[in-house]
Structure 1
Amino acid sequence: MSTSSTRRLTVAQALVEFLARQYTERDGQRHRLINACWGIFGHGNVAGLGQALLESGAQRMPYLQGRNEQAMVHAAVGYARQSGRLSAHAVTTSIGPGATNLVTGAALATVNRLPVLLLPGDTFATRPADPVLQQLEVPYAGDVSVNDCLRPVSRYFDRVVRPEALIPAALQAMRVLADPVDTGAVTLALPQDVQAEAYDWPEEFFAERVWPVRRPAPEPEALAEAVHAVRAAARPLIVAGGGIHHSEAESALKALADATGIPVASTQAGKGSLRHDHPCDMGGIGHTGTAVADDLARTADLIIGVGTRYTDFTTASATLFAAPEVRFLNLNITPFDAHKLGALTLVADARAGLEALTDALAGHRVDATYEAECRTGKARWEEAVSRAYAVDDSRARPSQTQVLGALDAVVGDEDVVINAAGSLPGDLHKLWRARSPRQYHLEYGYSCMGYEIPAAIGVRLAAPDRPVWALVGDGTYLMMPTELVTAVQEGININLVLIQNHGYASIGGLSQATGAERFGTAYRFRAADGRYTGDPLPVDLAANAASLGMDVLRAGTVGELRDALAAARASDRPTCVYVETDTADSAPAAPPAQAWWDVPVAETATRPAAVKAREDYDRHVAARRRYL
């Protein structure tokens, strides 16, 4: 690298200048890689990155003010996902609790393979006083700080202890963020004294750099094996994962399904890969899947996984794919995922691989009786969805599925629906009628309570013309409502659907099913026996949302809910629709789980519920198999 021309900047100033000149490029389209920086300033970064962001100006590196460090990462992840992983945000925090608050968000980003750049402050590299404020003292290692908590949840980690070390560290960080195989959370820990230190930087460091996001095609030999396997299969089933969306391969999947008639079932991350009314779309698969998709999975002789990680929800904890002769064909850009379940592998970009498969399978189509079976099963499930959404009396309090039905009637193709945790993911995966590739935004890799509201802000920043809905229960809302203030401050008109069901409904149901009798899962006063089985807590979450600056619409009936949702969608202000749901056993609900999920149950117990649950567990676990 030539040093004939240099520029004297602090480390923080140089990093901001560098980040402003990084781009990705795919299919001839260029995207700025780091489009903004979220931040909360403390003594670990206020005079370093804070000063650098101020000096660079909003046009160079836009700054976004957050209220919670974890939430800032969630917002960045929502932005990256909506941007197809081609653009991302940075997040800066001080050393100490600000930095450790990043860990949950970093884990979520890495689990879901979504890029985010973390820039936490760090303790002094020069150690002028030992210990300094918020320094973790480790007797056996002088170079450990709390930021080392981020190592296992980061795809790349470096601590920049010298100014010149920023150059290779920053380049490696960009490489990982832009790589569809390696991407996730990237952490550059920045000691606060180093951030403020000046250095003569080579001008070449600040040149525009384009990081190509290529579409590797499958190897011919592997493609030939895959084509042979598909042609030989009598009952093939495609499992569409999130990689289809990341690759923008939805049209290629549709072309393959149209040409071959192979049915498609989707993971949480892959839902929307086909439009809900496409004849080959069988809906969600696995523990939260549809009856038709899970029935097909049990009898399939070839599972074609495209861009999926095969989580335990997808495989029903290795009990779903039950045919003795079942084989797997995995198309994935990540070799680690492609080789799962002893599969034939197509290590390639999802779009390039699907296009190659479609061309090589020209003239091939599944048997007409199999197509008819899929159509019949799909029609039966559509009737089940309609029953779950149905309303007999618009003056009645809605159930949770009726809330989804009311929202289904309001949204258009362009809307985005965001959720991550509670009982909503199961209901949405089974029932939601996805109209477009980016409409269904479920974070179910980490299923993190508190994700939805900040993610909605990130999605709206990436797609300012799309109505965005954050769906949360009361448990999730209480985890992290603070970014509503950010939405109000920035005029980001997200829509929040806040469902009050007085506790952790999802875990309550799981607790009941596993013999734990809903212990500790309700938001209620203590009863005489010391358990939380008294009256519901007198909290007013709608008033809380209003106190944070949101417009709030209260809906007590199905009719009021419909009106409120329509008004929220038409509003240009951040709006909360608050509804208390009917949780009675007689209320309309989604069909029960169509496949098992392994949650270990007490092997020995005296309470009858736990004894019965263990008997059920032993029966299910006997069906588990290893796919070799």
Structure 2
Amino acid sequence: MSKIKMTVGQAIVKFLNNQYVEFDGIENQFVDGFFTIFGHGMVVGLGQALAENPGHLKVYQGRNEQGMAHAATSYAKQNNRRRIIACTSSIGPGAANMITAALTASINNIPLLLFPSDSFATRQPDPVLQQIEQSYNLNITTNDCYKPVVRYWDRISRPEHVMTALINAMRVLTDVSNTGAVCIALPQDVQGESFEFPDYFFKKRVHHIARRLADSKEIENAVELISRSKYPLFVGGGGVRYSEAGEVLQDICGKFEIPYAETQAGKSSTPSSNPMNLGGVGITGTLSANTAAEKADVVVGIGTRFNDFVTCSKEVFRNPDVKFVTINTSEFDAGKMDAERVVGDAKLNLQAISEKLEQKNYKTSYGKGEIAGIKEEWEKERKSVCDAVYTSENFTPCVPSWTPKIINDYIRDIGGTITESNGVSIVREVIDDDAIVVASAGSLPADLERLWTTDVKDSYNMEYGASCMGYEIAGALGSKLAEPSREVYALVGDGSFLMLNSEIATAVQENAKITVVVFDNAAFGCINNLQMGNGIESLCTEFRYRDDKTGKTDGKYIYTDFAKIGEGYGMKSYTAKTPKELRDALEDAKKQTESCIIDAKVLPKTMAEGYKSWWHIGVASVSKSKKTQESYKGICEKLKKARMY
């Protein structure tokens, strides 16, 4: 054994250069590079190592630490968790800014490696710039805030600590059942300290991502339950995507005529056109999927956490005798809904279940053409919603909380006449079939899960575990870095755009063309619907000037020129106030080589409404509003029917 003397920063860079993953016999380097905004906490430590000898690691310049970490998350997702970009920040605000991204990655089980800098391990210069001090515990730093939102946390207080920390980080980052954000806090003095590291620490490591077959008894129990069912429904989540189990899911459902639905994370794992694919299920689900869900006597969840949006707060599965099976690499998630657990890989275990069902000559009780009929009925409705256009003579928005004044005020102050659902359909119609669409939060996820169709694998990148506003543009950058040959579109509401748009600058810098379509309805529109739909007056959810007479923010709508903001970043810009202008802008943007922004002025209250769905929210139990009273009564009635676990 020989030894190599180097700093902690240099050791981190050398180690990451030699990490590989292998899945289904395909091996690739795991870490592509680093996102960073250099600060005094690490510019001369880890930064020195990246400048002197980065190896194959690329260094990307972020503009906001949260944004760059979202971009890294999206990069990992687009690579189906088999390639990552690490992130590093200074202490204090830089470190704190990445916490939201860590939360988002962990909720969605996406590997995200973070190296926030930390205060001095020696404590001698304390308190340094950006350091928080707690008099009751001097060990606490900003980075302790990561502990609730990461899958692994460590602090390198001595140079040799970096060895166990990095090995454990790789264990978690490549663990399909428990991956998420990893935080390794780097005290700024320790980054520059040296140690004689053993050469074997830097050997090439290949992390095998295994496909695990569940225990035979688990498979038998699942098969027994499914084989007794008359109206089963399969629900494909993110685990279908990451296991690349889409073809097997289609095969088993086609063979036994079992309908299946998708979650946001599972969408684009299989073609929308598949006869058994009923689309999204739950609160943002389709009429077809929710119709099948309420009838299902057995629900088979594949790689899904069964969150409240998938289950309509556990109310959409309305068959009183419904049972659940889950196929999941995580034992914790496999136990959701009091299900029969099948703990293991989605693809492998679906194949095993299919073989045994075939041996039993299993058939469902769906009538001839019944599934096709359900799907056909929804397709008519979907097309009707997509084709909804504004005419002043005859127009009724989809959302119950609308008033004519809202529409008239918007047209007067903003001038747009595009409906949101029609805007989504125009984007779908115009862009390339293999283009990647990225979105998160607000009303767009509902419209996209219901109305968006795609037959191209991994073309849908929705962050909806944390529903994190601000992911969209950074996520588009991450997807583009992952797949440079494909067009990438960020569909973003005006509220999300205003929260975080800084990574446009990085996209321009990297010549990574993205097209940002801003759906500007001058509001936090989704929340305004929720607010007004439950009997609360519109309060600080619309973007309006404060009225001098009323003292409230209920004056004229605020016109924001998002096209000009994009121009300031160096994007080619367009403003669209009509469906034709939106279509023309999209067609022209396809021809461009630089990043583009389309400022689409979209009428409020024109998103698709729910289908047989319900969401449990904390409505006031006491109120002067009759509508709020009715909402609370409705929740109480629904809770009587919802499943309780």
Task: Tell me the TM-score normalized by structure 2.
Answer: 0.94
Query: Which residue in 1 is equivalent to 2:481?
Result: 461
Given that 1:304 and 1:329 are in contact with CA atoms closer than 8 Å, whether structure 2 keeps it comes out as yes
Report the CA distance between 1:110 and its aligned residue: 0.3
Q: Report SS of the residue matched to 2:486.
A: coil
Distance 2:608 2:337 in 1: 31
Distance 2:52 2:307 in 1: 45
Query: Which residue in 1 is equivalent to 2:217?
Result: 221
- The answer to whether the aligner puts 1:550 opposite 2:571 as a matched pair is yes
Given that 2:240 and 2:346 are in contact with CA atoms closer than 8 Å, whether structure 1 keeps it comes out as yes
Report the CA distance between 1:339 and its aligned residue: 1.0
One-letter amino acid matched to 1:599: I
Query: Would the alpha carbon gap of residues 599 and 515 (structure 1) be closer, same or farther in structure 2, given more than 3 Å must change?
Result: same
Structure 1 residue ranges without an equivalent (≥5): none
One-letter amino acid matched to 1:604: V
Matches within 5 A, 1:564-579: 564-579=585-600
Query: Which residue in 1 is equivalent to 2:349?
Result: 353
Distance 2:248 2:391 in 1: 42
Given that 1:419 and 1:472 are in contact with CA atoms closer than 8 Å, whether structure 2 keeps it comes out as yes
Distance 2:388 2:631 in 1: 34
Alignment partner for residue 191 of structure 2, among 189, 195, 199?
195
Post-superposition CA distance 1:213-266 (Å, at most 9, x none): 000012222212211111110000001111100111111111111211110011
Distance 2:579 2:534 in 1: 33
Alignment partner for residue 340 of structure 2, among 325, 344, 367?
344
Distance 2:255 2:559 in 1: 57
Query: Which residue in 1 is equivalent to 2:246?
Result: 250
Given that 2:431 and 2:586 are in contact with CA atoms closer than 8 Å, whether structure 1 keeps it comes out as no
Given that 1:394 and 1:557 are in contact with CA atoms closer than 8 Å, whether structure 2 keeps it comes out as no
Post-superposition CA distance 1:332-364 (Å, at most 9, x none): 111101111111111010111111112222264
Given that 1:425 and 1:442 are in contact with CA atoms closer than 8 Å, whether structure 2 keeps it comes out as yes
Report the CA distance between 1:309 and its aligned residue: 0.1
Alignment partner for residue 621 of structure 2, among 566, 584, 603?
603
Alignment partner for residue 435 of structure 1, among 419, 437, 455?
455
One-letter amino acid matched to 1:575: C
Post-superposition CA distance 1:359-379 (Å, at most 9, x none): 222264534644522211110
Query: Which residue in 2 is equivalent to 1:88?
Result: 84
Distance 2:65 2:203 in 1: 31
Query: Which residue in 2 is equivalent to 1:41?
Result: 38
Post-superposition CA distance 1:3-35 (Å, at most 9, x none): x31111110011001001001111111121111
- The answer to whether the aligner puts 1:15 opposite 2:36 as a matched pair is no
- The answer to whether the aligner puts 1:581 opposite 2:602 as a matched pair is yes
Given that 2:390 and 2:418 are in contact with CA atoms closer than 8 Å, whether structure 1 keeps it comes out as no
Q: Report SS of the residue matched to 1:172.
A: helix
- The answer to whether the aligner puts 1:366 opposite 2:363 as a matched pair is yes
Query: Which residue in 2 is equivalent to 1:269?
Result: 265
- The answer to whether the aligner puts 1:292 opposite 2:288 as a matched pair is yes
- The answer to whether the aligner puts 1:504 opposite 2:500 as a matched pair is no
Query: Which residue in 1 is equivalent to 2:554?
Result: 533
Greater Cα shift, 507-516 or 131-140: 131-140
Post-superposition CA distance 1:425-475 (Å, at most 9, x none): 111111111222311211100010000101111111111111111000110
Query: Which residue in 1 is equivalent to 2:161?
Result: 165
One-letter amino acid matched to 2:145: C
Structure 2 residue ranges without an equivalent (≥5): 393-415
Query: Which residue in 1 is equivalent to 2:316?
Result: 320
One-letter amino acid matched to 1:333: T
Query: Which residue in 1 is equivalent to 2:100?
Result: 104
Q: Report SS of the residue matched to 1:419.
A: strand
Distance 2:560 2:224 in 1: 61
Query: Which residue in 1 is equivalent to 2:331?
Result: 335
Report the CA distance between 1:136 and its aligned residue: 1.7
- The answer to whether the aligner puts 1:475 opposite 2:495 as a matched pair is yes
Distance 2:80 2:73 in 1: 11
Query: Would the alpha carbon gap of residues 178 and 47 (structure 1) be closer, same or farther in structure 2, given more than 3 Å must change?
Result: same
Distance 2:614 2:569 in 1: 41
Report the CA distance between 1:129 and its aligned residue: 2.5
One-letter amino acid matched to 1:406: I
Query: Would the alpha carbon gap of residues 552 and 541 (structure 1) be closer, same or farther in structure 2, given more than 3 Å must change?
Result: same
Query: Would the alpha carbon gap of residues 161 and 371 (structure 1) be closer, same or farther in structure 2, given more than 3 Å must change?
Result: farther
Given that 1:253 and 1:273 are in contact with CA atoms closer than 8 Å, whether structure 2 keeps it comes out as no
- The answer to whether the aligner puts 1:376 opposite 2:373 as a matched pair is yes
Q: Report SS of the residue matched to 2:358.
A: coil
Distance 2:300 2:551 in 1: 52
- The answer to whether the aligner puts 1:231 opposite 2:227 as a matched pair is yes
Alignment partner for residue 616 of structure 1, among 631, 634, 640?
634
Aligned length: 620
One-letter amino acid matched to 1:21: N
Given that 1:517 and 1:609 are in contact with CA atoms closer than 8 Å, whether structure 2 keeps it comes out as no
Distance 2:458 2:142 in 1: 37
Distance 1:132 1:560 in 2: 54
Report the CA distance between 1:392 and its aligned residue: 6.1
Report the CA distance between 1:512 and its aligned residue: 1.2
Alignment partner for residue 582 of structure 2, among 561, 576, 594?
561
Query: Which residue in 1 is equivalent to 2:400?
Result: none
Distance 2:155 2:248 in 1: 42
Distance 2:366 2:644 in 1: 30
Report the CA distance between 1:180 and its aligned residue: 0.4
Query: Which residue in 1 is equivalent to 2:409?
Result: none
One-letter amino acid matched to 2:8: V
Given that 1:389 and 1:405 are in contact with CA atoms closer than 8 Å, whether structure 2 keeps it comes out as yes
Alignment partner for residue 522 of structure 1, among 542, 547, 559?
542
Distance 1:456 1:370 in 2: 43
Report the CA distance between 1:394 and its aligned residue: 11
Given that 1:601 and 1:614 are in contact with CA atoms closer than 8 Å, whether structure 2 keeps it comes out as yes
Query: Which residue in 2 is equivalent to 1:259?
Result: 255
Q: Report SS of the residue matched to 2:300.
A: strand
Q: Report SS of the residue matched to 1:275.
A: coil
Report the CA distance between 1:618 and its aligned residue: 2.2
- Identity across aligned pairs (percent)? 39
Q: Report SS of the residue matched to 1:362.
A: helix
Greater Cα shift, 311-320 or 523-532: 523-532
Distance 1:37 1:394 in 2: 50
Given that 2:34 and 2:87 are in contact with CA atoms closer than 8 Å, whether structure 1 keeps it comes out as yes
Given that 2:436 and 2:489 are in contact with CA atoms closer than 8 Å, whether structure 1 keeps it comes out as yes
- The answer to whether the aligner puts 1:25 opposite 2:22 as a matched pair is yes
Q: Report SS of the residue matched to 1:273.
A: coil
Query: Would the alpha carbon gap of residues 371 and 209 (structure 1) be closer, same or farther in structure 2, given more than 3 Å must change?
Result: farther
Q: Report SS of the residue matched to 1:227.
A: helix
One-letter amino acid matched to 2:628: A
